[in-house]
Amino acid sequence: MHGQPIASSQNSGYPAGILVSRLKEIAGEFGHVAFASSLGAEDMVVADAIFTAELPIAVFTLDTGRLPRETLDLLERMRGRYSREVEIFRPGADEVAGYVSAHGANALYESVELRKKCCHIRKVEPLARALAGRDAWVTGLRRAQSVTRTDLPLREFDATHGLVKFNPLADWSEEEVWAYIRDREVPYNALHDRGYPSIGCDPCTRAIRPGEDVRAGRWWWESKDNKECGIHVSPLTKPIGEKTL
Ligand code: SF4
């Protein structure tokens, strides 16, 4: 574990103190809070803040069964760095076998419908299981990440899961995320250094070229307005306030 007090980084180019205050406020308001980590750069910042400040927020991730080796390596490095566990939720074996048998393992390239079906089995359903019994959940989403996230509030009601959902990094910039990671030597996915700003499953993620949108490497064969797996987009999700928790 590193020994740098998290609040001391307030003036180091990223608002770490504000992040911890937001997380403390969430943990104080709700009983069972969980942070859903995809192990991306932003999620490593939130997990580091939770673990370092010893906040009573559970941290979990979804192992879709198709994660890149580098993402699994990062999970191992987290185990070495922090004393807290990252809970892992996996898709149902029968559902995965049924999809593969009916459509083929890589049918996700054939149509948006089959891609979303794969995401439903490997991400959406396991997420619902991971959130069952929680009172609120936290993400590492930022507004600047995608055209689908420009209106992302700090706090919203996620009616799909019946929970309040918090996005405490909504107003952070990419520079602030990386300043935090470098300053505090937070472990991060090795693919970030190879042109992958956004990392998902191996078959659905590629490196981006200079000047491309940060999400251009996700489901690159689909329209840019459609690039969500279904776990963060719901017609039922409503903002609760815009600038405050
Ligand atoms: S990102 Fe790709 S491999 Fe992963 S669940 Fe979605 S479609 Fe399947």
Domain assignment of residue 1, yes or no: no
Provide mean pLDDT across the span 218-236. 70
Is 80 exceeded by the pLDDT of residue 237? Answer: no
For the chain, how many structural domains are there in total?
1
- Tell me, in angstroms, the distance from the centre of ligand 1 to residue 57's CA: 27
Q: What is the pLDDT of residue 3?
A: 40
- Mean pLDDT for 199-216 is 92
Q: Which residues contact 74 (CB under 8 A, 6 or more apart)?
A: 39, 44, 187, 188, 189, 190
Among 118, 119, 204, 229, the one annotated catalytic = 229
Q: Residue 245: which of 40, 59, 20 has the closest Cα? A: 20
Atom of ligand 1 nearest to the CA of 66: 3
* Residue 229 known to be catalytic: yes
Q: Which domain holds residue 212?
A: 6-239
pLDDT score, position 240? 58
Query: What would the mean pLDDT of 22-33 be, rounded to a whole number?
Result: 97
The answer as to whether 245 is a domain residue is no
Q: Is residue 228 part of a domain?
A: yes
Q: What is the CATH number of the domain that holds 134?
A: 3.40.50.620
Distance of CA 108 from the midpoint of ligand 1 (Å): 7
**Which residue's entry shows tokens 């251009």?**
216
Q: 22 in a domain, yes or no? A: yes
CA atoms within 13 A on the CB side of 160: 18
Q: Give the lowest-confidence range in 2-11, 30-39, 107-116, 202-211.
A: 2-11
Q: What is the mean pLDDT of the chain?
A: 90
* Cβ pair 148, 44 in contact under 8 A: no
The mean pLDDT of 5-22, rounded to a whole number, is 76
Question: Which residues share a beta bridge with 35?
Answer: 59, 138
Q: pLDDT tens digits for 95-106?
A: 999 999 999 999
Q: What is the pLDDT of residues 48-66, one digit of tens each?
A: 999 999 999 999 999 999 9
SS3 123: helix
Residue 146 has a pLDDT of: 76
* 23 pLDDT above the threshold of 80: yes
- Residue 244 located in a structural domain: no
The predicted-structure confidence for 83-140, as pLDDT tens digits, reads as follows: 999 999 999 999 999 999 999 999 999 999 999 999 999 999 999 999 999 999 999 9
User: Could you tell me the distance, in angstroms and rounded to a whole number, from the CA of residue 33 to the centre of ligand 1?
Assistant: 26
Q: For atom 3 of ligand 1, which residue has the closest CA?
A: 201
Q: CA–CA separation, 23 vs 57, rounded Å? A: 8
